[in-house]
Chain A
């Protein structure tokens, strides 16, 4: 049983919707129709699959972690999205949206980015397809992730600093939406996670189901018995890598666990609210002003969460845990030392949860979506561990 599609008004349970300025409503409707049409067109699927294979390097491997498993007493399997071209899962979504944008006759991509991974992936796809690209990034994040800023520029993208508010991911999304309001006729907004107005949460999920589909087959080939892991876990910022891997295991006996940063725990500490186009759980003050998240990882530094995760949490179909920055740094070092894999700080959150709960998980098999590699974080970690 795969994850349900949203209702015609873009709802997952009570969450989701299309809360955008009127200017963008026709564009969202057009995008919804164009994606539905492309997604059921074998030619579109074949072109995307070809790019995912020959350009991005899919399928990504499943790695059994012997030394880590011995150390934790938990059998850990890694879905290696870190090995994709550009170093994270983000490329799955971006290649799909860029092909779709071209099919819709758009000449330009605009995107937001936090850690820079989605920005780099979007700039990459734009370079590949010969499209113009503008990426908004919070000024604070531009300083934290200097290397990715340079990468995006090298790839031909224009990087614009978001100077308002907290100057992080949330503000970069505001700026990208403002850009799109002004340029909607020629520009596609290449949103980087399962959030925003309908059809984005659904479309971005569909583009990441490749993670879960591959992992399900790989687990079946690897594991005995029913071929299922006991637990499937992933970090959750907006929630795209998590929903991607969850999609392969929804409705099975595998337990789905999303891991949020304690400083940006929208499910753990938020309340229902509406920002950036959808209704979901949101960190906000007593008046509904959106609060700033605070996390060591720029990619999870977001006060909201995709609406489908809010629904999965409210319906008890998935569970959401929180880890703090210190636990994340330990997990970052642990995977590097035991497996020779330096993870991005984002998926290190999921490992931090496994490590903390290892007694409860003893003897069980846990599939972790390793959503990205740690190159971008090494300089920052040098300050903590060096």
Chain B
């Protein structure tokens, strides 16, 4: 499978806006069917959440999905094992918190991702200054580490984040945790524009992208979007693979204009 960054760059070069949905691994038994359905509905890559007990970057919806998954017995090992036999047809990135990786050991975690066919990792509580030991292991194993860039970053920080980021750079769209908002925050396009001016990496806006209109608005500046809570709310409400596919197809169609 081609890596995350190569895939996203190729899609961007073909004139396409990028769509990366997020799904919490193990939130319900059918989660793998949702992964396939979302890929078929037009996702360019998929983020798989490995649930953590203390998700400080997440709002109520993803907190609930994480709690459901943990209560159902989801473990990092179980989620990676499930992905091993699964070809979604698009690159996968896991999104989890650093202690999951630290506890397993950097090399083992990186190798676990490779064995599971996962291209990349996103660790929202591992900022630039703390990435060293993990990125060494990830680089050695060929795992791409996506770093986040937030609206609070001073200008001089952004090129340093982009230089260390692989796959894409994750532009945090607002001041706050994941969750749906009525309108797109002004920070979504401003951070995207600031990043676009310093990097050639794909720039995707995530956190707070709640529907197709907001995805289009953010993608006017960014190369695309990550959508988590809006999709997970549909899934927690029982939407299943069909509900997820319908939502993602709607966003895809809007982005393709």
Bound: A282/B100 CA distance, A: 13
Query: Which residues from chain A contact B127 at a C-beta distance below 8 Å?
Result: 18-22, 25
The CA of A71 and the CA of B154, in the complex, are separated in Å by 62
Among A25, A282, A290, the residue within 8 A (CB) of B129 is: A25
CB distance from A199 to the nearest CB of B (A): 13
Which residue, of A9, A17, A178, has the highest number of chain B Cβ atoms within 10 A? A178
In which size bucket is the chain B interface? 35 or more
B57 pairs with A181, CB closer than 8 A: yes
Q: Which residues of A contact B (CB under 8 A)?
A: 9, 17-27, 164-165, 170-171, 174, 177-178, 181-185, 271-277, 279, 282, 284, 287-291
Q: How far in angstroms is the closest Cβ of chain A from B110?
A: 15
Q: Known: A19-B125, A21-B150. Is A288-B104 also a contact (CB below 8 A)?
A: yes
Q: Would you call B102 and A273 a contact (CB within 8 A)?
A: yes
Please name the residue on chain B nearest to A284 by beta carbon. Answer: B103
Instruction: Specify which chain A residues have a CB less than 8 angstroms from the CB of B147 in the assembled complex.
Output: 22
Does B77 touch A at the CB level, under 8 Å? yes
Closest to B148 in A: A22
Give, as a whole number of angstroms, the nearest-CB distance from A203 to chain B: 18
Contacts of B152 in A (CB 8 A): 22-27, 184-185
Contacting residues of chain B (45-68) with chain A, CB-CB under 8 angstroms: 52-57, 59, 63, 67
B124: interface (CB < 8 Å): yes
In the bound complex, what is the Cα–Cα distance between A171 and B55 (angstroms)?
10
Query: A22 contacts which of B63, B75, B100, B128 (Cβ < 8 Å)?
Result: B128
**Interface status of B12 (Cβ within 8 A of chain A):** no
A-B contacts, CB under 8 A, total: 117
Interface residue B99 (Cβ < 8 Å from any Cβ of A): yes
Q: Are A274 and B102 in contact (CB under 8 A)?
A: yes
A164 touches B67 (CB 8 A): yes
Residue among B54, B99, B150 making CB contact with A23, cutoff 8 Å: B150
CA distance A276 to B54 in the complex (A): 8
By a CB distance below 8 angstroms, the chain A residues around B130 are 17-19
Which A residues are in CB contact (< 8 Å) with B254?
none
A181 and B175 contact, CB distance less than 8 A: yes
Closest to A182 in B: B176
Per CB-CB distance, the 9 closest pairs between chain A and chain B, nearest first, are A288-B103, A182-B176, A23-B150, A289-B53, A22-B148, A22-B150, A290-B53, A288-B99, A274-B99
By the criterion CB–CB under 8 Å, are A9 and B103 in contact? no
- Whether the Cβ atoms of B56 and A177 lie closer than 8 Å is yes
For A164, give the chain B residue with the smallest CB separation: B63
Which residues between 166 and 182 of chain B lie within 8 Å of chain A, taking CB atoms?
A: 172, 175-177
In the complex, which residues of chain B have a beta carbon less than 8 angstroms from the beta carbon of A22?
124, 127-128, 147-150, 152-153, 161, 172
Residue contact A288 to B100, C-beta cutoff 8 Å: yes
Given contacts A274-B98, A287-B75, 15 further A-B contacts (CB under 8 A): A18-B129, A20-B127, A21-B127, A22-B127, A24-B152, A25-B127, A170-B54, A178-B176, A273-B99, A273-B103, A276-B54, A279-B102, A284-B103, A288-B100, A288-B102
CA distance A20 to B125 in the complex (A): 5
7 contacts between A and B (CB under 8 A): A19-B126, A25-B127, A171-B54, A174-B54, A177-B56, A178-B57, A282-B99
CB interface residues, B 97-126, toward A, < 8 Å:
98-100, 102-104, 124-126
Residues of B within 8 A of A26 (CB): 152-154, 157
With A164-B63, A273-B103, A290-B54 in contact, is A25–B128 under 8 Å at CB? yes
A289 touches B52 (CB 8 A): yes
Assess whether B54 is in contact with A9, with CB atoms less than 8 Å apart: no
Contacts of B141 in A (CB 8 A): none
Report how far A227 CA is from B130 CA in the complex, Å. 43
Q: Tell me if B240 is interfacial: C-beta within 8 Å of chain A.
A: no
Chain A contacts of B148 at CB under 8 A?
Answer: 21-22
Is B70 part of the binding interface, using a Cβ–Cβ cutoff of 8 Å?
A: yes
